[in-house]
Chain A
Amino acid sequence: MRYLYFPGCSLKGTGRAYEESLLAVFGALGVELQEIDDWNCCGATAYMSVDETKSYALAGRNLALAEREDLDVIAPCSACYLVLNKTQKGLAEHPELHRKVVKALKAGGLDYKGTVRVRHPLDVLVNDVGLDKIAALIKNPMKGHRFATYYGCQIVRPYATFDDQDDPMTMEKLLKAAGAECVSYPLKTRCCGGSLTGTLPEVGLRLAYILIKEAKKRGAEAIVTVCPLCQFNLDGTQGQIAKKYERVDLPIVYFTQILGLAMGISASELGLTRGIIPAQAVLAGR
């Protein structure tokens, strides 16, 4: 199994642990990831507010680069996953935009056809690799560990392709395969406010606080997430939350880190040392 890999800026920066754990887990599963040659920033949500056409062109360049190989693209970052998919759809639906973007890409020597499939690691793990194969590699099940699964916004919304929009369950399936328990967590798709924490701290903090507090109340020892921005936001703001509201101290980890632990990969290899809130509870018993 081989895929193209679009890490995005976050996985090279604050979300480094996501990349480390993702590569480790996929490597253990024998899935090859080939990084897209000279990819650029997808534009994320911010650039859409500046220039729609350029925003599509930015993502378009990545898609055009990906089309040179006949492989599906894996985009682990929620924002990248959404933007790349949104671009495919937007260009297919708006002929005028399509014309402009294709022409501009041509000027840069790039050819966009709109043929590539952009997928999320959750989708690939459950639907391509399969839970059976994953279960077979679980050496050190996460028995007795309870997590709150947190999907955030941009994975199942607005295009629910591999899971339900209101109540996604893919992560639960994976964590169950890893031997862990999942608490009922009705906030699993509620926005964490990550894109606002830097600009409107009072707003972002409250959203993050609500999410963490509720997960704790429901008996989770950590929040398991799929998004580098959510992880950064929920992990990095706990200091300020302690000042403004109360001490919460809940580790925020990536689902790939939990899978990796259960597969017997070391904590440092999985970037589990990179959390600002230490992940001791998660590491208990190993």
Chain B
Amino acid sequence: MSDTATSARDLPVPARGQSLRFYGIWVIAAIVLIVLPLLFSSGSSLTSFSLIGIAIIFALSYNILLGQTGLLSFGHAVYYGLGGFAAIHVMNAVTAYDWPIPLPFIPLVGGLGGLCFAAVIGWVMTKRAGTVFAMISLGIGELVASSSLILRSVFGGESGITTDRTALPHMFGWSFGPQIQVYYLIAAWVMISAIAMYALTRTPLGRISNAVRDNPERVEFIGYDPHVVRYLASCFAGLFAGVAGGLTAINFEIANSAYLGAVQSGLVLFATFIGGTSYFFGPILGAILVTYLQLGLTNLTTVWQLYFGIIFIGIVMFAPGGIAGLLMMHRPLVRSGTLGMVIPSYLLALVPTLVLVCGVILGIETIAHYTESQGQGNVIALFGIPFDATAASTWIIAAVMIVGGYAVARITWRRIVDAWDRATTDARDRGHLA
């Protein structure tokens, strides 16, 4: 799904195996989505899967901006939130006036809500690109979030607007009361949206968006107005973000101003960037990981925000392609069969790196507990081992692990670089790298 991968399909006669593999991925994805709740059927898993599904659509929609068009937005949650409110209002209207609209179509309403707002405000926002666009999106995000508290009749103040999803006309005899039914609804929309957004990357507009991302100035000299391209891209991003918002509204049966806020915008940026913006599936990985971290990490540590920050900084500095970028780096090696040359150095680096990571975690948790609890409840249970935050030994262990781990890890990292160089040289010799 990378640029290089798709262009392989541009060959005058696309290879049959290629397209089979291509459709195969989607079919497998669909099967996974169907089977998942059968394997893990507890209420919490269903809730988690539902949230992850929504996060996937949201992150993919964000990547239309960031990855495809090169627009860094700090206010993407505006579309998501407005989509959610549109969905809630229509759901309430359907209930009140007995319109014949069943629940499964409500996300579309959310999408239209996001699209409408993008169509109106997007023209102004997309006048500028780059860092200016980022600041503008931040400002617009604040504007809408603040206004939502003033326009009470629409946004319901800070307590928001509630609805009852079971009151809508039923479809296939499903009431959508039980979470499992909502999960399948979300799963269906994940498939529809993902396919639609993938298709979008393969249209003339999608390709021109890439060109605008790479070099907006040059685009003007091949007949395209980059402003229009950015505008259209933001409309599509708004549409799918709205779908995600509509699904959230169905899932929680409530929409409130927290949907529109900076936290939500920040999370989607995290998910998309950590997953990787250069590949279509990057944001999917990111959405799964970040939602999972958000649900799990917050119960394990109170300073989860610090870990988020550190992970993010690490990705920006050392792997700007995100997780997807890291994975895809290995593809030429896999193809040329030289992957085996780097694996041993990875394994070797794993041990000291893990020690380093554990040291950092221990250090952070120790400080956090030391300052937060002042005097009581100092025992941290980390990896099942109890540590006393006030004991000097804990601090020393953490320090030793960090310093020692780093010293050793550095050596092993150099080995990785060497091994990597050798493997890529081999791969190039075998004709699998440009």
Do these two chains interact? no
What is A's interface to B at a CB cutoff of 8 Å?
none
What is B's interface to A at a CB cutoff of 8 Å?
none
